[in-house]
Amino acid sequence: MPTESDTHYDPSLGNKFIFVTGGVMSGLGKGITAASTGRLLKNAGFDVTAVKIDPYLNVDAGTMNPYQHGEVYVLEDGGEVDLDLGNYERFLDIDMTSDHNITTGKTYQHVIEKERAGDYLGKTVQIIPHITDDIKRRIREAAEGTDVCIIEVGGTVGDIEGMPYLEALRQFAHEEPAENVLFTHVTLVPYSKNGEQKTKPTQHSVKEVRSIGLQPDVIVGRCDDRLDRQTKEKIALFCDIPTEAVFSNPDVDDVYQVPLMVEEEGLDQYVLEHFGLADDALPEGERTNDWREIVTTDKTGTVDIALVGKYDLEDAYMSIHESLKHAGFEVGIDVDVHWVAADDLSNGHDGQLESVDGIIVPGGFGMRGSEGKIEAVRYARENDIPFLGLCLGFQMAVVEYARNVLGLDGAHSAEMDEDTPHPVIDILPEQYEVDDMGGTMRLGEHTTVIEPQTLAYDLYGDTSCSERHRHRFEVNPGYFDRFEDEPLVFSGTAGNRMEILELETHPFFLGTQFHPEYTSRPGQPSPPFLGLVEAVLEHSGAHSATDGTDADTETEVTH
């Protein structure tokens, strides 16, 4: 909230709530639209937070396959949540908690536990009011202490599992003063064959929203281009809102451009006026403008980084992609990420690594692709290619070194090979008795002590760092002495736990047991990622963006 000296906002007016629903189809990027609006409100001086509602029955995203919902994002408090929370953290520059991800699993579990405890004695426990009350309570609690809370409902209006949430939002709006609530509906505006923007899908989805008792205040049309005036007028007329409340959200090259576009469309100003906050916002000239400066940095070239993973899906490694972009903003280059199937490398196809400037082996679970990941580490180590290993990538670097340098034949992680003669990576002692899969790993933020005069120290510029974790296995203490007097050193530790490794004889070879990608932000790139990109620039320089080396990268950006 702007301080008293720069605004006259009266906090007794209470929180403002922006509800965001989606129509026509999922995957329209309503999260990015919402986060972008939030970013602009933050630039205008307000404290903004967000809640993501996932109507699935899972308690959290921790047990989900990345092919279903993309990466599992890890919060400071150890919450394993939907990747949209990553977008909110990056766009709003906030640290969220598990309470900011509401799922059907969480709500029902809580209500059923209360029922078993006898809290509802005598009553019939029902979706309305018990589940809906719990949903409203969670939203109010998550919003506490902030000015504006954005609540995004996952999925599409009309989904059966989303119904209790929409009913809860209807009640919520009924209970709050009208000027404290704004409903935004994000929908698709496709083109017909003859190039006309079609509003019928929007009309139908708004009809669906209204049948539940919700009336959108704002409609955002996702389209290849900006919406024509005529399209906006048509949507306004048939959906019963002013034309000024219909906004475009056209495709852009990069999600970080969306706040700039939302600003051009005037969505933030419309929201401020709806809430009666326009006079409380910082004047235009005094608003933070660093976002624009960061994301529009001139790029002098391109570097190519291989991401050796299991899933051929950008969303499965979203935070890594974003961290590389943040590092790229900092040094003024584009980072092209080339997904390389770890499986292919295990079949001896390491030619795919010849054309890249740097290699990342990301986190992961299970046997599939592990030999390929080890092969990628070997290639990077032997050929002086800048290398970053994250979590499983760190573990595979230890395995590779044990096998190929220390001569420990058959060394492996006990996760992949229970019978390995050399389990250099082994289960965490506290995991011996753990059977349940959900929320049971070593999770969340832990502090790592960093050895001075090391690469890790240079990168973090400190004798400690706090990063987020998600693992069940670690370097086996029984093998620590084998690494003594080796150029591979563990430069970061947490008690008896190895957290960072580096290779003194290599231009840039770093592995982290933690996941630095979850704390990287535009303007505050994660040190290991920045280090990698800088090392790549030093090692092979940037290519001109037009020399064709980026031919097979993911250039199509959707949000």
Residues 6+ apart with CB under 8 A from 254: 295, 325, 557
Alpha-carbon span 170 to 167, nearest angstrom: 5
The token pair at 112 is 């059923």
Q: Is 515 a catalytic residue?
A: yes
Q: CB of residue 492 vs ligand GLN: minimum separation in angstroms?
A: 16
Residue number, 70 or 363, with CB nearest to ligand GLN: 363
User: In terms of CB distance, is 311 or 365 closer to ligand GLN?
Assistant: 365
Q: Give CA–CA dist 219/239, Å, rounded.
A: 9
d(CA 160, CA 57): 12
The three-state secondary structure class of 366 is coil
**Does residue 308 contact residue 397 with C-beta atoms inside 8 Å?**
no
Contacts of ligand GLN in 265-304 (CB under 6 A): none
Exposure of 483 in the CB half-sphere (CA atoms within 13 A): 23
DSSP state of 285: G
- Given candidates 166, 392, 399, 489, which one binds ligand GLN under the rule CB under 6 A? 392
Q: Cβ closer to ligand GLN: 396 or 542?
A: 396
**Shortest Å distance, C-beta 428 to ligand GLN:** 8
The residue from 391, 446, 471, 543 that is catalytic is 391
In the bound complex, what is the minimum distance in angstroms from residue 323's beta carbon to ligand GLN? Answer: 15
Tell me whether residue 219 or residue 510 sits nearer to ligand GLN (CB atom): 510
Q: Residue 364 Cβ, how far from ligand GLN at the closest point, in Å? A: 5
Interface with ligand GLN, residue 210, by CB under 6 A: no
For tokens 């602009």, the residue is 40
Taking the complex as a whole, the smallest distance from the CB of residue 393 to ligand GLN amounts, in Å, to 7
Number of residues near ligand GLN (by CB under 6 A): 10
Residues 412-451 that bind ligand GLN (CB under 6 A): 415
Contacts from 135-138 at CB under 8 Å and sequence distance 24+?
A: 135/53, 135/102, 135/107, 135/164, 135/165, 135/168, 136/168, 136/171, 136/172, 136/175, 138/51, 138/99, 138/102, 138/107
Q: Which of 208, 322, 375, 517 is catalytic?
A: 517
Task: Identify residues 462-481 at the interface with ligand GLN (CB under 6 A).
Answer: 470-473
Which among 299, 508, 471 is positioned nearest to 391, based on CA atoms? 471
Q: Is the Cβ of residue 317 or residue 509 nearer to ligand GLN in the bound state?
A: 317
Strand stretches in 45-136, DSSP E: 48-54, 73-74, 80-81, 101-103
391 tagged catalytic: yes
Q: Which residue is nearest to ligand GLN (CB)?
A: 363
Give the residue with the Cβ less far from ligand GLN, 457 or 473.
Answer: 473
Residue 343 CB, shortest distance to ligand GLN, in Å, is 17
CA distance 3 to 9: 9
Binding to ligand GLN in span 318-377, by CB under 6 A: 363-365
Catalytic residue among 69, 506, 515, 543: 515
Q: Quote the tokens at residue 544.
A: 């001109």
Catalytic residue set: 391, 515, 517
Q: Which residues lie near ligand GLN (CB under 6 A)? A: 363-365, 391-392, 415, 470-473
